[in-house]
Amino acid sequence: MDCRVVVEAAVPVYDVETADEAVRIAISKTGEMLNPDLNYVEIDTGTRTSPSGEQLDPAFVAADEALVALELQMDVFNVDRGEHASRVARKEIGKRLRNIPLKVLSVTEIDSEESDRTDGTPASDRGSASGDDESELRGDGEPVGS
């Protein structure tokens, strides 16, 4: 089974004045941390809403520092079930985004033809499952209790 996993990341950014500037820096910073190993992970701005349901900027800026919500999308191949796909994605992304909180937002099953059209990268070169990914993981990809 192949799955598309969307993970939310809370990326801290320093010395910024506006939310737009914070978002640009957070996307650039995240791209640098993921490349070249995970260049197939798509980075997009996350969505935030107020308790009343009002749409908010993806960045919260205070005292020239910001916390930016980003969504990272990754295709994971050869997994047993959705939970396994989410653990693989969190582990692979978490290894590169040290000390950045991650939360799995969605896991959807994809067919193998669709995944081959996504970015041209052979499925064997992208997020395939390995046997040790069944343990509980923190956001940095390390097993809980380590």
Residue 136 lies inside a defined structural domain of this protein: no
Mean pLDDT, rounded, of the chain: 83
Q: Binning pLDDT at 50, 70 and 90, where does residue 47 land?
A: confident
CATH assignment of the domain containing 57: 3.30.70
Residue 133 lies inside a defined structural domain of this protein: no
72 in Cβ contact with 9 (< 8 Å) = yes
Residue 32 lies inside a defined structural domain of this protein: yes
Q: Binning pLDDT at 50, 70 and 90, where does residue 130 land?
A: very low
Q: Rounded to whole angstroms, how far apart are CA atoms 134 and 114?
A: 26
Q: How many domains does the chain have?
A: 1
Residue 135 lies inside a defined structural domain of this protein: no
Calculate helix-pair angle for 82-96, 19-34, nearest 10 degrees.
100
> Which residues constitute the domain of residue 55?
2-113
Residue 67 lies inside a defined structural domain of this protein: yes
